[in-house]
Amino acid sequence: MSRLESFIRRMSAQRDVIDHVRETLPLPATGAILEIGLGNGRTFDHLREKFPGRRIVAFDRAFGAHASSAPPAEDLVLGEIAETAKTFAGTEAALVHADIGTGYEDKDAITLTWLPGIVAQALGAGGIAVSGLPLDHAALEPLPLPASVDRDRYFLYRRRP
């Protein structure tokens, strides 16, 4: 599979899982959405469209989003995500979306030493996690993916009570 085809498959999976959450998985009534890895802002824009009225807080190392897909300054957290996202532990987030995998096993292995814990600590009971990397954590219950998404392409979890 070419890198272009792999990218398209990843983006399609991301969209399909987010849409699946919107259509079939009730989120807690309150709580922000956390977008871990703002990038150019395409997914932020999709989340904003699918979950109108929800506060969306975006994290990234540096700002690189298109102006039309940028969160307001008060909802943008810049710096090393492993550190900055810790400040949202216990905030009872309704949804966390994390797409910060690099495709390099050694780099992703380091990310996986801290990402599952940060996601589990930020989510409120019943909150949903959507991730491009597997989140192996006792507080996160894996959920079935939509039929359009290949296993191991994207991951879906609910925070246990």
Instruction: Tell how far CA 118 is from the center of its chain.
Output: 11
Does the pLDDT at position 1 exceed 90?
Answer: no
Q: Is 134 exposed, middle or buried (0-12, 13-18, 19+ CB in 10 A)?
A: middle
- Closest by alpha carbon to 128, among 83, 92, 99? 92
- Split at pLDDT 50, 70, 90, the class of 34 is very high
Give mean pLDDT, residues 114-121. Answer: 98
Query: Which pTM value belongs to this model?
Result: 0.95
Q: Is 127 helix (H, G, I), strand (E, B) or coil?
A: strand
Does the pLDDT at position 152 exceed 90?
Answer: no
Q: Find the radius of gyration of the CA atoms of the chain.
A: 14
Q: Is 61 helix (H, G, I), strand (E, B) or coil?
A: coil
pLDDT at 59: 97
Query: Taking the C-alpha atoms of 45, 69, 132 and 14 in order, what is their torsion angle to the nearest 10 degrees?
Result: 30
Q: Is 142 helix (H, G, I), strand (E, B) or coil?
A: strand
Q: By percentage, how much of the chain surpasses pLDDT 70?
A: 100
pLDDT at 139: 98
